[in-house]
Structure 1
Amino acid sequence: MTTLEFSYSLNKLSKSLKPFALKLTRDSDDANDLMQDTVVKAFSNKDKFTEGTNLKAWLYTIMKNTFITNYQKMVRRGTFIDTTDNLHYINSGSNMIENEAYSNFTMEDINYTLDQLEDVYKTPFLMHFKGYKYHEIAKDLTIPIGTVKNRIHIARKILKDELNIYKTKS
């Protein structure tokens, strides 16, 4: 495969790598960086590509390995090593002190939001949360099982919307 053919194939396939990069990094800028690193590595190692094999799979492998390597570098950068005779990690879990203030605020917000729910949604939701099965809730509340599922779904949606401040980056 000539350099021109390889470059054309690489350019054509690089668009299909973007969703995979986004899935790995969960950030658009990091995904673009990963894409760029992958294309540079692929082009600089084009002599290692065996013609007739799957170029797309080869690119996916390069991207995955690049992501893993970058992640490992980032973790190593964040780890401080004590160089005394004991040689232990300063930021190991046994030396961390947890402050429960954040989780207390979170629970207060969750309980407040639950209290604001109408009883028709709150009761089935809390029963399901406590471990009751749908059919048990339907029997106890004398409502159809579909209604139980719908009310639990609505309660979850309301909680999700009201507590969106706690949504994690994804």
Structure 2
Amino acid sequence: MTSIEFSYSLNQLSGVLKPFALKLTRDLDDANDLLQDTMVKAFTNQDKFAEGTNLKAWLYTIMKNTFITNYQKMVRRATFVDTTENLHFINSSASLIENSAYGDFAIDDIYRAIDKLDDIFSTPFLLYYRGFKYHEIADRLSIPIGTVKNRIHIARKHLKEDLMVYKHVN
């Protein structure tokens, strides 16, 4: 393939490559730059193209590799490496002071909500909360396992309603 034929083929395929460049970069100007870089690389490396192979696939490969290389360069440029010795700690958990008053209020509210439940709901719920399995609770209370699951479900539902004030608290 002569240089003129190769140049003509590149020109014909540039329209097919533009959507791929746009997909990679997600920006029209960057896509145009990527397309131009791809065409320059293809033209300067024309001797590496094996005639009879798929030129379009070769160009796609050049474009993809160019995009990856440019992306890696951009990431490296944007990466800041701090080589100074760390003599201070910002937002260090070692100097964090936690105010447990809010947590104490929440725990008190939870226990009050559990105390308001009927015993038939609170007992299975508390056993489950303490780590007992459904079948262990059923054996201990001498009730069917389905009843245990139902009572725990109802207890959770009531607690959810009573503790709605804590729904959006982080």
TM-score w.r.t. the length of structure 1 is 0.51
Instruction: Give the whole-Å Cα distance in 2 for the aligned partners of 1:136 and 1:113.
Output: 24
Shift of 1:140: 1.3
Segments of structure 1 that go 5 or more residues without pairing to the other structure are 11-40, 52-82
| Partner of residue 121, structure 2 | 121
The letter of the residue matching 2:130 is K
Which amino acid counterpart does residue 109 of structure 1 have in structure 2?
D
Query: Aligned in 2, Cα 1:147/1:111: closer, same or farther, shift over 3 Å?
Result: same
Tell me how large the CA RMSD over aligned residues is: 3.6
Matched residue pairs, number?
108
Alpha-carbon shift at residue 43 of structure 1 (Å): 2.5
Match of 1:167 in 2: 167
Aligned equivalent of 2:27? 43
- Which residue in 1 is equivalent to 2:70? none
Instruction: Give the structure with higher Rg (CA).
Output: 2
Equivalent in the alignment of 1:34: none
Unaligned runs of at least 5 residues, structure 2 = 1-15, 36-58, 61-83
Deviations 1:60-94 (A, max 9, x none): xxxxxxxxxxxxxxxxxxxxxxx9x9621232000
For 2:107, give the aligned amino acid.
M
Partner of 1:145: 145
Query: TM-score when scaled to structure 2?
Result: 0.51
* d(CA) in 2 for partners of 1:86, 1:118: 57
Distance 1:136 1:86, change over 3 A: closer
Q: Percent identity?
A: 49
